[in-house]
Amino acid sequence: MTTTPDHPVDDSRPRVLVCRGCCCGSEQKHPDVDHDEQIAEISSVARTRVVDCVDECTYSNVVVVRPRPGESVWFGRLNSAVLTRELRNWLDAGAPRPLPPILDVFSFEPRSRAATE
């Protein structure tokens, strides 16, 4: 399934880092995840950059959202089309707080924020 942006992905949209390191994006580790579709969905509504491992492999697939300057929200185990759609919808709404409950369950505090600093 290909998504169509609801609006241009301009500088006002949230920024997103999608990890595609040794574990995240691995078809061996997550064979049921359409990794390309996940990136397509996210990038349809947010400024998206694919990055290498962010040192939180136990949470793969990891996505880091920067809704606003100085703020980051880490999500792990985003391994289903339903979760990807929920993330897309939240991003499309401007990544408001509080997090939707289904996404809150998959948010976590990273051991190191070095990757997003």
The binder of ligand FES chosen from 44, 48, 60, 79 (CB under 6 A): 60
64 part of the interface to ligand FES, by CB under 6 A: no
Alpha-carbon span 23 to 1, nearest angstrom: 24
The distance of closest approach from Cβ of residue 50 to ligand FES in the complex, given in angstroms and rounded to an integer, is: 11
The distance of closest approach from Cβ of residue 105 to ligand FES in the complex, given in angstroms and rounded to an integer, is: 19
19 part of the interface to ligand FES, by CB under 6 A: yes
42 CB-contact burial (10 Å; exposed 0-12 / middle 13-18 / buried 19+): buried
17 part of the interface to ligand FES, by CB under 6 A: no
The distance of closest approach from Cβ of residue 93 to ligand FES in the complex, given in angstroms and rounded to an integer, is: 25
Query: In 3D, which of 102, 103, 87 has the Cα closest to residue 46?
Result: 87
Query: In 3D, which of 107, 95, 116, 101 has the Cα closest to residue 14?
Result: 95
Interaction site with ligand FES (CB under 6 A):
19, 21-24, 53-54, 56-57, 60, 62
